[in-house]
Amino acid sequence: MTHEDSRVLVVIPACNEQGRIGRVVRSVKATLPAASVLVVNDCSTDDTEREAREAGATVVNHLIHLGYGAGLETGYLYALKHGSDIIVQMDGDGQHIPEEIPKIISPVLNGEADITLGSRYLHPGNDYRTSFTRRVGQKFFGMIFSLLTGYRITDPTSGFQGMNRKAFELFSRGFFPHDFPDVDVLLMAHYAGFRVKEVDVIMMERSGGLSMHAGMKPFYYVIKMILSIGMVILRGRRWKHYVS
């Protein structure tokens, strides 16, 4: 990348990612040396904070466990306070490959998109494996998004994203979900007039830790997402009123 790296804040929500977070931070800094790296430590009970700091990240701690979405919102608020222009958000478990970040931010830097999603399913020769139920859910909510917006996304649950300042300003206004920010947030962005673009990326499978979709959470996720999408639709074009 170029000197524009310095405009970028890489936000990594993390909860109990000891043994992984240090490698992720070091790889991000090797890929974008001038970018800032923020790890939002969501009340980890292991050495996540120490590993992240030793790898060169700034760490903000949640004193209680607030959830993945709350970690992202903390990152957005930090970016606003410290004058960042572009955010890259990625997971701390090693699924998202830092070397793919240039693909994520190029459309934002070039003014082609306000929000970019890294899709594991667009990449040629994709062999990413996920559970049958999760893939069905991705297809179902991707179909809903396509029906409501008129354009297709293949990986609506991807947490590997880039966005410009006006996008994360909207998401920091108190509407952002604290648990599963997925299609509902993308739909909010669409109604607000933002351009959403998918780019193909390589992703790895989790190298450890507990997925936030483990156990009974997929059932909760489906019900919550349907209700959340409904609430976003009810506001409709009024989302534009929140864009400065």
Task: Give me the tens of pLDDT residue by residue for the chain, a chain 244 residues long.
Answer: 454 576 899 999 999 999 999 999 999 999 999 999 999 999 999 999 999 999 999 999 999 999 999 999 999 999 999 999 999 999 999 999 999 999 999 999 999 999 999 999 887 766 666 666 777 888 899 999 999 998 889 998 899 999 999 999 999 998 898 888 899 999 999 999 999 999 999 998 766 555 554 545 778 888 999 999 999 999 887 888 888 6
- pTM of full prediction above 0.85: yes
Write the single-letter amino acid at 76: Y
The answer regarding whether domain 3-242 maps to CATH 3.90.550.10 reads yes
Q: What does the alpha-carbon distance between residue 81 and residue 125 come to, in Å, rounded to a whole number?
A: 41
